[in-house]
Amino acid sequence: MTLATSQTGQIQTLASLDGVSTNSTVNPAGNTVQKPIGALPAGSYGQLTTHSSSTAGVFTFSAPANLQGTEMLAIFWADGTYITDIPNTDWSITAGTAGAATAITITALPGSQTLDALNTYGIVAPAQNVTNSVSIVGSDAQMLLITSTQPGLCELLAGGTVELTAVIVTANGFYSWPQYSGQTNPISGSTITVARMYNNSQTAATMTVAALLA
């Protein structure tokens, strides 16, 4: 990713490479700043084959999924809706084995989220958390840019609370702030310590968060 800016300050970049977090801060001098980005593993395609209730069911994969049973998950449905942050206490591998799951059973969902209709297709993606020395002081943020080579979702968390959810709906899409003059800072008053990333694609993706700080 190339990030061009004429402002001074700090740029903090966050990325995840197959679950390994990276984080770096650079001091721009008014010219182009280039930073490497990491990769997210491919999501796993399948469908909801059992719908026991609005928050419980079985998701069956079209091919064995590389899930260990310990991950936090998101499900991206074919209609464009999604469910995020399903903890490993609310799902389990019920067919196949760890690393080659052919079905998972979901027993609960966080918050007011609900499953889609029976037989709906979707992609299950494990969360990739970037936590390595991450500290974005919201009141210092001058610009945010989140990019991904595949559709996906990024959550910025402060103290375990999601302060910003950025959805990337197309390949090579992005989320940016500000989008217009005077737009409210979405993380003002918070200090971001975690960037949680999900890949909504069967193709491995690269996703990066860049923050320009005063």
Q: Determine the average pLDDT of the residues in 181-209.
A: 92
Final residue of a structural domain among 100, 126, 152: 126
Residues 141, 121 share a domain: no
Residues 79, 14 share a domain: no
Residues 197, 133 share a domain: yes
pLDDT of residue 166: 95
Residues 207, 135 share a domain: yes
Domain of residue 209: give its range: 2-40+128-213
Q: Give the angle subtended at the CA of 37 by the CAs of 175 and 87, to the nearest 5°.
A: 70
pLDDT of residue 131: 79
Residues 99, 160 share a domain: no
Final residue of a structural domain among 106, 126, 146: 126
Residues 97, 36 share a domain: no
Rounded to two decimals, the pTM is 0.84
Task: Name which residue leads in pLDDT, 82 or 18.
Answer: 82
Residues 84, 51 share a domain: yes
- What are 14-66's pLDDT values in tens digits? 555 444 444 444 444 432 233 335 579 999 999 999 999 999 999 999 999 99
Final residue of a structural domain among 126, 142, 165: 126
Please give the tally of structural domains in the chain. Answer: 2
Lowest mean pLDDT among 71-80, 139-148, 157-166: 139-148
**Do 35 and 26 contact (CB within 8 A), yes or no?**
yes
- Write the CB contacts of 103 (distance below 8 Å, at least 6 apart in sequence): 49, 58, 59, 60, 61, 93, 94, 95, 96
- What are 107-146's pLDDT values in tens digits? 999 999 999 999 999 999 999 988 777 788 888 888 888 9
Residues 151, 78 share a domain: no
